[in-house]
Amino acid sequence: MACFSHLPPFAAADEASSASISAVHPDIIQTHILTRLDAPTLASAACTSSELHALASHQLLWANICYSTWPSITTPRVRQVISTFPDGPISFFSDSFPLLGNLNPTTTAATSSGLAPKHHQDHPYELISAVDIYHRGKLILSKVIETETVTGWFRCSPFRIDLLDPKDVVPTHIKYQEGLEADTCRELGDDLTLSWILIDPTGRRALNLSSHAPLSVKRHWLSGELHVQFASILAGEKGTASEHVLCGILVTCGGSEGGEMQVREVSLQVEDMDGMHLNGREGLVILDRALEGRRGRKGRRRVGEGKKRYEEYLQRKKERKERKLRTEGTLDTLCVAFGVFGFFIFWSYILCR
């Protein structure tokens, strides 16, 4: 959201609009008009004149928008971190609202030659996850979790962040009826939304790793639980299995004795194009690059763009698997051919002695 991450002053404004704006007291505009606008509309209004730019850049205005959009960030710890961002809540919203836009893989040579930003040399020492899940616009889960990334256990183990403890369940108002799982899957696909904001408190950066809407909803064949998949596609190292990686968010739901659905698990993992989970160190490299990258699609179209990128990722993954199978098939054929040739040479030598 370049428009409100760096809102430039406008020296020349339309005379008619300036006159009409000047006729209204600034307190009325700021209190009764701008507070009724959503973030994209507010950013657009700020680009129309210098007066509206000044009024729309008020920190409290954007702080209230952030808190209403993501209730999880109202905790004292996250509030303090947001206050350290270059432009406070304006910078935070600019980082966290749009879909990730930098999907160009990098090369090892480019990174090692010093072309990468300095932040890539020191990965985040801590990550804060702020997660909000809505069903039909009603909040059903809001939580913040802090993850240390400096331990050897984290860096060597598969990258995974669990929002809930193993025995924790979150009750919801959603009805769950046995035998109607197909209808429930369709309902969750249409009505469930999720936001997973990953915050680097040291680097004062943030990004939203969710596709906002579910990319798939499936019933597990053994447990019967419903798995709701959200994801974003991140760029990795060119020419490797991590050229594009899937940052997947899995929400596991199940029924309760009272007939209501429970959220049993919410987890984040990073997977390469071979289906292998990246470890903590590799995941930090990918996330650090994404935190430095530019943001992309904004507004309602970001949902469709997220699904499009996910489908493109699946297609790339399929093509890579087919290439590997063809290569392995060719190698197997060559091995068999060399074996037969060696066998023939050996017996020819024996018989001709």
DSSP 126-153: EEEEEEEEEETTEEEEEEEEEEE--SHH
Q: Which helix (H) or strand (E) holds 217?
A: strand 216-219
Give the tokens for residue 349.
Answer: 């030598």
Residue 14 included in any domain: no
Q: How far apart are CA 65 and CA 336, in angstroms?
A: 66
Residue 83 and residue 159 in one domain? no
Residue 168 and residue 58 in one domain? no
Residue 293 and residue 169 in one domain? yes
Residue 4 included in any domain: no
Give the tokens for residue 351.
Answer: 């018989």
Give the tokens for residue 248.
Answer: 């997947």
Parent domain of 256: 98-109+122-319
Residue 102 and residue 81 in one domain? no
Q: Give ∠ CA 64-66-70 in degrees, rounded to 5.
A: 120
Residue 129 and residue 190 in one domain? yes
Residue 47 included in any domain: yes
Residue 102 included in any domain: yes
| Total number of domains constituting the chain | 2
Residue 82 and residue 136 in one domain? no
Residue 135 and residue 146 in one domain? yes
Is 140 within 8 Å of 264 (Cβ atoms)? no
Residue 166 and residue 186 in one domain? yes
* Strand, helix or coil for residue 188: helix
Tens place of pLDDT per residue across the chain (353 aa): 445 444 444 444 444 444 566 677 777 877 788 888 888 888 888 888 888 888 888 889 999 999 999 999 999 999 999 999 999 999 999 999 877 655 566 654 444 333 344 444 457 889 999 999 999 999 999 999 999 999 899 999 999 999 999 889 999 988 887 777 788 899 999 999 999 999 999 999 999 999 999 999 998 888 889 999 999 999 888 878 888 899 999 999 998 877 889 999 999 999 999 989 999 999 999 999 888 875 555 544 556 777 888 888 888 888 888 888 888 888 888 898 888 888 888 888 887 86
Residue 346 included in any domain: no
Residue 332 included in any domain: no
Closest C-alpha to 321, from 329, 332, 309:
329
Q: How far apart are CA 131 and CA 46, in angstroms?
A: 29
Give the tokens for residue 345.
Answer: 């040479």
DSSP state of 163: S
First to last CA, the chain: 82
Is 171 within 8 Å of 135 (Cβ atoms)? no
